[in-house]
Structure 1
């Protein structure tokens, strides 16, 4: 029964944040009567809400629980001052992300004034192979994770998206050598993303930070040095007293 309740919650997405009862039942592949009963229980607990229009939405209780996740919240709190500094210096989009399985999860994003639009959002998931933060996290992921990602279907977002596993492996090796990644027009044709790794006190890569700028507006390699400096500052903050 817990599994079915989770499937109901998983029916919601950024594209479909509001759903009817029948929509949820269909997307979760759960009988309508069971869906109705479980949604009533989830409403009573606060996991979902039902508006006057009859549509269901994710409830604030889940958001409250999500803020307790130590890998996201603790990291975000330590990193935020440096993310804000990077945003003020560059006036560009700054992003903070972690790896969850074979996906990137964004835990913070600061939008610069007049910066290029991005497709990512806080709490959203994205392919490891396309974004600046994703390439960093994949480059430092265990071998089995890299093999799983590179052996499966690699999603293409633009004509510049790299989908060749051999070329991607070379890119990951370059990330480990240079200390930063460059994703040039792989997600949208007007944007370039540069990312760098954040380490914990044991030296393990636990997150990545990136700048997303308009293509052609700055040298990616110069941005790489700037992002890498911010990543090192966040790493030192993580290694400090709790």
Structure 2
């Protein structure tokens, strides 16, 4: 939503609208484009973009356009669910990658979407739409189902009451189906998303627990459907999630796997 949609705009809302004008498809914008996408007068956009560039939130490229600046990356690095989590997870993500040489994801939940904070992939791995910093609807992905199954009840009900975006004929598209799948994820400790985003891709995910034994992230592996079965991936994905949880100091990760699953 742009500043003009929110009633009387504040300086903060205008700045946020400018930053929101950028996307994965539009990484470089001119002042005119920023003005139009943010819903701001050209003079206002010019002034605020100049201030953001001086601070380092935006950078001007050789063609005269603007891109997101490194200063924002520095600030984002302070987020507790960002680099610290990634650093603890990397050894286990790399081990998981070596098991298949396919796609490995680490993600966190933000509302009804997942945000990917790490991805390891081979050149020949099955095609996926994910990218570091990118978002995807939680109900359609392995990491998302693993996270949503352990989210608070209100958030789960928001997801269940929909609407649920459909990507393929296999995408979870009804509330009762999503409720059933989330219950199964809690029972088994793993989430399986088979052909929900692309029919030829299979994702197996598992929750990662933090120091207070709440789910803080999820790890998943995505492989091509031909040649792979979910049950063959479950043990390695569970082991990876458990290793990350242990590195984060989750008490449940110090118990035996049988005890942890029984106490879920």
The TM-score, its normalising length taken from structure 1, stands at: 0.96
- Say whether 1:151 aligns with 2:143: no
**Which residue, 216, 222, 226 being the options, matches 2:236?**
226
Q: Offset at 1:113? A: 4.8
The TM-score, its normalising length taken from structure 2, stands at: 0.88
Matches within 5 A, 1:170-189: 170-189=180-199
- Say whether 1:212 aligns with 2:222: yes
Name 1:27's counterpart in structure 2: 37
Contact 2:141 2:197 survives alignment (8 Å): yes
- Say whether 1:239 aligns with 2:249: yes
**Which residue, 61, 76, 79 being the options, matches 2:71?**
61
**Which residue, 213, 227, 241 being the options, matches 1:203?**
213
Contact 2:143 2:219 survives alignment (8 Å): yes
Contact 1:46 1:62 survives alignment (8 Å): yes
Q: Distance in 2 between matches of 1:201 and 1:48?
A: 36
Contact 1:133 1:181 survives alignment (8 Å): yes
Q: Offset at 1:152? A: 3.0
Q: Distance in 2 between matches of 1:236 and 1:217?
A: 31
Give secondary structure in 2 for the equivalent of 1:129.
helix
Q: Distance in 1 between matches of 2:65 and 2:77?
A: 25
Matches within 5 A, 1:1-242: 1-239=11-249
Name 2:254's counterpart in structure 1: none
Q: Distance in 2 between matches of 1:157 and 1:27?
A: 27
Give secondary structure in 2 for the equivalent of 1:239.
coil
Q: Distance in 2 between matches of 1:87 and 1:78?
A: 16
Q: Distance in 1 between matches of 2:71 and 2:62?
A: 19
Q: What's the CA shift string for 1:135-163, capped at 9, x where partnerless?
A: 01111000111111222321122222111
Q: Distance in 1 between matches of 2:139 and 2:236?
A: 22
| Cα RMSD (Å) | 1.2
Q: What's the CA shift string for 1:205-228, capped at 9, x where partnerless?
A: 110000000012211022122101
Q: Distance in 1 between matches of 2:228 and 2:40?
A: 50
Q: Distance in 1 between matches of 2:211 and 2:62?
A: 49
List gaps (5 residues or longer) in structure 1. Answer: none
Q: Distance in 1 between matches of 2:156 and 2:178?
A: 10
Q: Distance in 1 between matches of 2:182 and 2:226?
A: 23
Q: What's the CA shift string for 1:35-71, capped at 9, x where partnerless?
A: 1100000010111112231221111111122122122
Q: How many equivalent pairs are there?
A: 240
Q: Offset at 1:77? A: 0.5
Q: Distance in 2 between matches of 1:227 and 1:50?
A: 42
List gaps (5 residues or longer) in structure 2. Answer: 1-10, 251-264
Q: Offset at 1:125? A: 1.0
